[in-house]
Amino acid sequence: MDALANLLDGPRARGAFLLRSILTPPWSLRIEDRAPLTLALMVRGDGWVVPDKGDPVRLCPGDIAVIRGPEPYTVADAPATEPQIVIHPGQVSATPQGVELCEEMDLGVRTWGDVPPEAVGTVGAPGPVRSVAGAVVAGAGQGGSGSAEDSVVMITGTYQMRGEISQRLLSALPHVLVMPGDAWASPLPALLCEEIVRDEPGQEVVLDRLLDLLLIAVLRAWFSRPEAGAPAWYVAQSDPVVGPALRLLHDDPAHPWTVAALAARTGVSRAALGRRFTDLVGEPPMSYLTNWRLSLAADLLREPDATIGAVARKVGYGSPFALSAAFKRVRGISPQQHREGVAAEGSAAS
């Protein structure tokens, strides 16, 4: 398994929050939910993601934004539109003055906004509609001042607990990235549009897995783009010496690797490997291995049934004590404290 495959193997949605929003302009949502990661798919109409720090990013029909938290941001019809609704932790919606809107704006199965559900039609309906092919979209609006043609449909999927997304993945992403709808081909956006409004047994699990698949597909496509600014370890995979060394470390992190062993497997001297690895990846091979093992351990500790001893063996430490010592030295907390923090976040989100 290569480094990117290992990285993208992390998302594990558990009861993720998925919602179809139907809104008429002017509209503006202030997102203060402190979620670690959110996907926003523009099904119909245009919108903007407005970070507190950085330039606004436009979303056109079919575009998908991946937004890394927990810092707040705004999603609106225009960058200058003042927030009308605030989304709090637990996906509680309210006015800026604190009046809750969850029930008032409920439009049925995973649908929310200011357009009545009976006004919803299909892409093939008459009228100037730009949207994701095959998706259900809105017709007339009643909450905003815009016309039927101005109504927007946006699907959001939110990973509500940090334990659902690996820290390795979060640290590799910018605050906001956008995959243009016309820059890649995937059946997943249209499938999500269909599935989000279904109310059938097991649908929550279906949507969790769809969200994971869509995130993985978007990030795989995004990392391959020149403007992605991919992390150093990703770029280094194409190097004829460092690439094989990275794959060895990722394929078998529990192996008792040394620089000498890696050099022998890659056909260069220890000095040449150490120098080239450090130049391209940004840290020496053994330092990279330590951080990789601890990142894996941090993700494995999300599972409540995994013992610290079992995690230690899986990532290359001979005992729970050895893992705890390394974890605390590098991360400043013990594995148990890390696990308690993940559990506390889960309780807060629920």
Q: List pLDDT tens digits, range 72-123.
A: 999 999 999 999 999 998 888 898 898 888 888 888 888 888 876 556 454 3
Could you tell me the CA-to-CA distances from 272 to 64, 88, 239, 258, 288 in Å, in that order?
Answer: 42, 52, 13, 14, 16
- Residue 177, strand partner residues: 66
**Model confidence band, residue 147 (pLDDT cutoffs 50, 70, 90):** low
Give the pLDDT score at 3. Answer: 63
* 253: pLDDT strictly greater than 70: yes
| Rounded percentage of the chain residues whose pLDDT exceeds 70 | 82
Question: Closest by alpha carbon to 292, among 333, 340, 252?
Answer: 252
Give the pLDDT score at 340. Answer: 83
Could you tell me the CA-to-CA distances from 69 to 73, 116, 127 in Å, in that order?
Answer: 9, 31, 37
- Please report which residue ranges of 54-202 form alpha helices under DSSP H: 167-171, 188-195
| Cα gap 334→340, rounded to integer Å | 10
The lowest-confidence range among 152-166, 247-261, 298-312 is 152-166
Give the pLDDT score at 192. Answer: 93
Q: Nearest 5 degrees, angle CA 315-CA 318-CA 320?
A: 85
DSSP 168-193: HHHHTS-SEEEE-GGG---SHHHHHH
| Cα gap 262→241, rounded to integer Å | 10
Give the pLDDT score at 51. Answer: 95
Per-residue burial over 153-168, b if 16 or more Cβ lie within 10 Å, else e, is bbbbbbbbbbbbbbbb
